[in-house]
Amino acid sequence: MAESDAAPAVPDQDHLVARLFFRAAFPVMKIVIAEDPAMARSFAKVKARVRMCYLEGGVWEGVTLVFDEGRLDIVEELLEGPDITLSFKSVGKMNQMLRGGANLPAIKGLGKPGLLIKVLMLLMSLKLMMPSARPKDPERRRLKIKLALSMITTALSQYNKAGVEVMREWTSRQPDRVYQFTVEPVEETRIAVWLRVKAGNTKAGRGIYTRRSPFVHFRFLSVDGAMAVLLKDVGFVEGVERGCVSVEGSPEYAAQLNDHMAILQGMLT
């Protein structure tokens, strides 16, 4: 599903973080359902609507997770007839919970405990992207990297679409460039994502971008190499020197994009 293009006035920090969670982090739950066998089985027959919302000036705002027998859509409005509602007294409290904090929502829908447990487990799967998550199982390590790269490229685009000045200034001076990320061997890892920047506009997607050659290609040479760099066990430059990642293309713009990625990782974790 394509990310939303809406670009209102620059939101404050809390609302910007919420936007990034809704539009960049939540969509990776689709990958979890598709590629985690236990989650796939759990949601295979689920048809339900789950609201996540926060109180804003006396009005409830948020999103609805729409489950339809293995399919998940994130709708940026509070749809009628929810099976479960998770609500917070403020956007800040919701953000704290999504970052792994102890703030718990008020819950409506306790009469459907099976569904509630499934939804909470799915939300908890986002913690796999946290720096503290260091799975030993090879498949969980692969999934962590796929989720993290999918989330961060979409978050970069949403950061720009939100009108954040530093990002808008960076994207506006670029004609038409593709930043590709892969984890080798791609045929086995199935990890490839991209960010396209064109005269101030951005779009993120999954797979190998085929319509033009990448301006910068971040090629992680293995899942373990990607883990070392993304978890900052090694610095980016050291990661290049150690053979964890190679950078093909402009080193200047690669470093600049890496700086923006670090800012976003700090906001969401």
pLDDT of residue 144: 98
Contact 43, 14 (CB under 8 A): no
Closest among 79, 85, 81 to 109, alpha carbons compared: 85
pLDDT of residue 3: 56
| pLDDT tens, per residue, the chain with 269 residues | 345 554 446 789 999 999 999 999 999 999 999 999 999 999 999 999 999 999 999 999 999 999 999 999 999 999 999 999 999 999 999 999 999 888 899 999 999 999 999 999 999 999 999 999 999 999 999 999 999 999 999 999 999 999 999 999 999 999 999 999 999 999 999 999 999 999 999 999 999 999 999 999 999 999 999 999 999 999 888 999 999 999 999 999 999 999 999 999 989 98
Tokens of 101: 């904090």
- Angstrom CA distances, 129 to 73, 125, 147, stand at 20, 8, 7
Burial class (CB in 10 A: 0-12, 13-18, 19+), 147: buried
Establish whether domains 13-127 and 138-268 are of one fold.
yes
| Residue matched to tokens 């939101």 | 11
Instruction: Say if domain 138-268 classifies as CATH 3.30.420.140.
Output: no
CATH class as words, domain 13-127? alpha beta
Domain ranges for the chain, please list them: 13-127, 138-268
pLDDT of residue 1: 39
Q: What is d(CA 172, CA 156) in angstroms, rounded to the nearest whole number?
A: 14
Question: Which DSSP string corresponds to 215-251?
Answer: SEEEEESSHHHHHHHHTTSS-HHHHHHTTSEEEEE-H
- Sheet of 106-108, strand order: 71-75, 59-68, 47-56, 84-88, 106-108
pLDDT of residue 9: 67
